[in-house]
Amino acid sequence: MSGFSAEWLALREPVDHLSRAAALRDSVAAHFKSCDHLSIVDLGCGSGSNLRALAPDLIANQSWRLVDYDPALLVAARATLSDWADHHTNEGDALVIRKDAKRIEVRFRQADLSTSVASVLDDGVDLVTATAFFDLVSPAWIEGFCADLARRRLPLFATLTYNGEETWLPPHSSDSAMLAAFHAHQAGDKGFGPAAGPAATGLMQAGLAAHGYRVAIAPSPWRLDAAHKGLIAALADGASGAVAETGRVEAAVIDDWSASRRQAQSCEIGHADLFGVPNSD
């Protein structure tokens, strides 16, 4: 339904986890360290990678609400989290996980966040988080979302938002034309209106600051090399397909770039992490 397959999300998960900015993760953990219980909403959860990355660093007693509009990914999330757990039980509609010394209660909710994000932010939420999600949404959606967060005084931890910076080695003569066309595709409508794409983190920073939040940002680039051949090839294919849809680059140029990029020695794909907290917290 969403165009993000569980296979693609599994391929990127180990690199995502390594790339996250450790200092911001530590700030999030420190912010909540005195809580007895933490209730977290994960927007655009996919198959649950964000929980697997973040939960080990948070306090022992957690509840997560995983939200996505793709029912197949929610099924994958339940299965993958069950496998990840040391022990799990199904209690009503909740999956209860024991992992190391943590107890993590997980609920799954299908919702289209383009129209209903406010409805998933209530009911005692302590932290809103999302991974690789905000580059899909529009500037107007971000503005409304920041206001929704501020009304509820909710902190936001956003990881791995694409920032548009890419370096592929060795260089190829079509790199800049391909990247410009890829960015044009990034700005297309992903269901929320014309997407913020690489501008998303800056827009969220400005939006939250306007509501009196303290906002910290740190880079979280993917650094890929010969150990990541599968992911590099998938990125080359994904970028080529996206550029072809724009009609901005000739097919022969795309094919040549794609063949070369599938064999790239290395590439760095820029992302940013953001932690925003209402000022008096």
Ligand X SMILES: C[S@@+](CC[C@H](N)C(=O)[O-])C[C@H]1O[C@@H](n2cnc3c(N)ncnc32)[C@H](O)[C@@H]1O
Helix crossing, 139-152 with 200-210: angle to 10°? 40
* 262-266 long-range contacts, CB within 8 A, separation 24+: 262/232, 262/233, 262/236, 262/237, 264/168, 264/169, 264/170, 264/232, 264/236, 265/169, 265/170, 265/225, 265/226, 266/168, 266/169, 266/223, 266/224, 266/225, 266/226
**Beta carbons of 159 and 131 less than 8 angstroms apart:** yes
* Residue 156 binds ligand X, judged by CB under 6 A: no
SS3 state of residue 245 = helix
**Beta carbons of 216 and 275 less than 8 angstroms apart:** yes
* Residue 133 binds ligand X, judged by CB under 6 A: yes
Buried b (16+ CB within 10 A) or exposed e, 9-48: bebbbebbbebbbeebbeebeebbeeeeebbbbbbbbbbb
Distance CA 54, CA 70 (A): 22
* Residue 49 binds ligand X, judged by CB under 6 A: yes
Question: Binders of ligand X among 183-222, rule CB under 6 A?
Answer: 191
* Residue 273 binds ligand X, judged by CB under 6 A: no
> Least distance (Å) from ligand X to the CB of residue 110?
8
Among 44, 155, 164, 276, binds ligand X (CB under 6 A): 44
| Stretch in the footprint of ligand X (CB under 6 A) among 2-10, 166-174, 207-215, 236-244 | 2-10
Pair of tokens at residue 244: 């072809």
Burial class from Cβ neighbours inside 10 Å (0-12, 13-18, 19+) for residue 147 reads middle
* Residue 73 binds ligand X, judged by CB under 6 A: yes
* Residue 239 binds ligand X, judged by CB under 6 A: no
Among 19, 50, 138, 258, binds ligand X (CB under 6 A): 50
Distance CA 200, CA 69 (A): 20
| Stretch in the footprint of ligand X (CB under 6 A) among 65-73, 89-97, 168-176, 228-236 | 65-73
* Residue 5 binds ligand X, judged by CB under 6 A: no
Among 51, 66, 69, 232, binds ligand X (CB under 6 A): 69
Among 63, 80, 129, 131, binds ligand X (CB under 6 A): 131
Closest to ligand X by CB, 113 vs 154, is 113
DSSP state of 189: B
Among 70, 95, 121, 185, binds ligand X (CB under 6 A): 70
| Stretch in the footprint of ligand X (CB under 6 A) among 99-107, 126-134, 161-169, 244-252 | 126-134
* Residue 144 binds ligand X, judged by CB under 6 A: no
Closest to ligand X by CB, 69 vs 168, is 69
**Pairing relation of β-strands 61-68 and 102-110?**
parallel
| Stretch in the footprint of ligand X (CB under 6 A) among 106-114, 177-185, 249-257, 259-267 | 106-114
| Stretch in the footprint of ligand X (CB under 6 A) among 39-47, 97-105, 257-265, 270-278 | 39-47
> Least distance (Å) from ligand X to the CB of residue 252?
30
Pair of tokens at residue 191: 């269901």
Rule CB under 6 A: which residues touch ligand X?
2, 4, 9, 16, 44-46, 49-50, 68-70, 73, 112-114, 131-133, 136, 191
